[in-house]
Structure formats: structure tokens, C-alpha cells
Structure 1
């Protein structure tokens, strides 16, 4: 069964904390969807430690709901609360803007296989040996008998396209992943509310 992400971007009101201000400290800005509508576990693991099959050091894992989260988000979360819900956490734009996008996970790399032109992509974590099932079906990769000394490469076998290489944060969060839209909105809001005044609250099921 797959894991989906749900989230909302919040911005802290400039007058929050003032005696006269009676509104929400963090008024809701916009939901994660439609900015991001993917299900990329490599990104989930990188940012939030959920489905962390590549063994990233997560940016913001297991923080729970912020203590001062807006009531609409608290209500949404409570309405969806069930045994399948997991990984509730949050991350500020101040943290995201400072990410070193060259950071890699513990895994040596990732192998992606597209069996046919109109098929989905299968991903494999690669450490010190090629997966037995991949070798059995497609043979030993032309990159070498072992991934230890293998360079990144792309090749075709029996109508399937295989691609191997190391993975960085840029690969899973950069252009073309969908996360660039989230980051752009948070960056724009930060011009008004400050880097620490913009955050993304997420949970998974």
C-alpha cells in the first residue's frame, strides 16, 4: 500500500504576539496540493524521514504538529487521524533555503528501470552489489560487475531503459520533481513574512 503526503504552508502574521492582535498567529496560506502532488519516497525520506529507503539524514523528521499551529490545520489533522497516519512534522523556509543540495544519502546510488515506453519507473537502492533480480532479468550492467567502481550510466536491454547513478538532494528536490514549486511559493512568502515566518506542515498516510 502506498504512502501519500498531505501538507499546508503557513505564514506567521507580522502582528502575532502583539497585545491587540486576536487572530491566528499562523494563518493558513495554501495547501501543498496542487503545488506538489507526487509520491516520491526518495524525497519523503530526504526531507521528513518517511519511507527513507535510501537512508538519508532527514531534514525535519518526527517533529509533530507545531505547538502554535493554526486551528484549521489542527482540525484537518484531527479529522484524518487514524491508525494509518504517520510522520507528522514541519519545516521552515529558513531551514529549506540553507540546504546543501549536494548532500547524498547513505546508499551508494539508485538504479531506475523503465521496462517499456509507457510503463512506470522501478527504483532500486544500490549499495555494494547489483540486485539479484535485476541481474537475472537484465544481465550484469555494462557499468561493471560491481557498483563499487561503477560510474553513472544509462543503457537499454530488451526494450527496457536502465539508469544508474548517485543521488543528491538536488536530484529528489530540484527542478522537475515538483518540490521546486513548493520552494518558490515559500521563498515568495518569506519576502513578506521572513524566513522563520514561513513553514510547511505535513503528515502522511
Structure 2
């Protein structure tokens, strides 16, 4: 069973001390993206990012509208991040360590095409890596790779920018937050989330 995200964006139109209200920017369209979950909130952080806003809990001053969104139980890892914090992310930075998931590619005449990332692999990988090889990428030096005629498995380190490049829904959500921050101020826009598994 995987982990999904839910929540919403809140604004504080009256500035500090005024109540938060739910904006019309929701997380409904966000896909299951463990790289984004790990970078922003430390949830399913296989990529080894230093998370921006892990484990803060549901804000005590969360709006009633947002609290009503929490219909799925049980949820875990409630947390939140302001636009000011998101705006400070260095989108060129590398994760401090390699990804726990080994990246799998299919060679083509135009170059390698990403098939996926996993912490478990099939028979083909075990045939070249060994039956008892550790399937966690962080067990190997960056750049370690295994090849067959139709697959390449490689230990890689992600960059924060990879999260945005591969996730148009997250880019749209952050663009919505940026627009709200231009009207209300960077510290008066926040994304509040929780997860279910």
C-alpha cells in the first residue's frame, strides 16, 4: 500500500494575528510523489533530501474549513510549510546522499529512458548484481551501475530541481501559492498537509 497526500493552502489576509482561511488551492491534483513528499516534509524520503518542514503537526490555528477536509482516518505526518520557506529552497542543490532506490533505465538510440526507481528489483537485476546483493542504492557508491543488453540500473543522487521537473502538478500548486503570497505576503500563505497509507 502506498502513501498519498491531502490538505490545502491557507492564507491570512489580515496579516499576523488574523485568522487563517482556506484558499481555493487544494492538493487534490497532487500525485503520489515520494521525492516531493521527502523534500518538503520528510515523508517517504528515499531520496535522502534534507526536508524543509517535517513533523510540525496540524497547526493549532488551522482554519475550520481545512479541518473539515481531514475526513480520511487515520492520517499521519501532519505538517505545514509557508511560502517564505518554499521560496528559500535552492532548486539546484543535491541531496546529501544517494537515493535508496536504484534507478532503472532502458537504453534507446536516443539515449536512456527512465523506467522507474525501486528498492526491490526483479530477476534481471539479481542476475547481474548477485542473488544476495543489497537492493538499497545507499549501500553503494554514487554511479555504481549494472547492465544487461536491455537495461541499466544505476545508483544516483537526486537534485531538488528533479522534484519540480518531474511533477507539473506540484509546479502548478507552488505557482498558486506564489500568486497568493504576492497579495498577502510570504509568511501569510502556507500549505498544510497530512498523509494516509
* TM-score where L is the length of structure 1: 0.72
Runs of 4+ in structure 1 off by over 4 angstroms are 15-18, 114-117, 131-135, 161-164
Unaligned runs of 5+ in 2: 109-113, 131-138
Q: In structure 2, do the counterparts of structure 1 residues 66 and 149 end up closer, same or farther at CA, with 3 Å as the change threshold?
A: closer
Aligned partner of residue 72 in structure 1, secondary structure: helix
Unaligned runs of 5+ in 1: 19-24, 126-130, 141-145
Q: In structure 2, do the counterparts of structure 1 residues 87 and 114 end up closer, same or farther at CA, with 3 Å as the change threshold?
A: same
Aligned partner of residue 171 in structure 2, secondary structure: helix
Q: What per-residue deviation string (whole Å, max 9, x for no partner) do you get for residues 87-126 of structure 1?
A: 1000000000011123333432453225799xx943146x
Please name the residue that 1:192 is paired with: 183
Q: Take 1:68 and 1:181, find their aligned partners in 2: how far apart are those partners?
A: 26
CA contact (8 A) 1:45 1:55 kept: yes
Q: Take 1:116 and 1:4, find their aligned partners in 2: how far apart are those partners?
A: 31
1:52 aligns with 2:45: yes
CA contact (8 A) 2:16 2:188 kept: no
* TM-score where L is the length of structure 2: 0.75
**CA offset at residue 61 of structure 1?**
0.7
Provide the aligned length of Structure 1 versus Structure 2. Answer: 179
Among 22, 29, 49, the alignment partner of 1:28 is 22
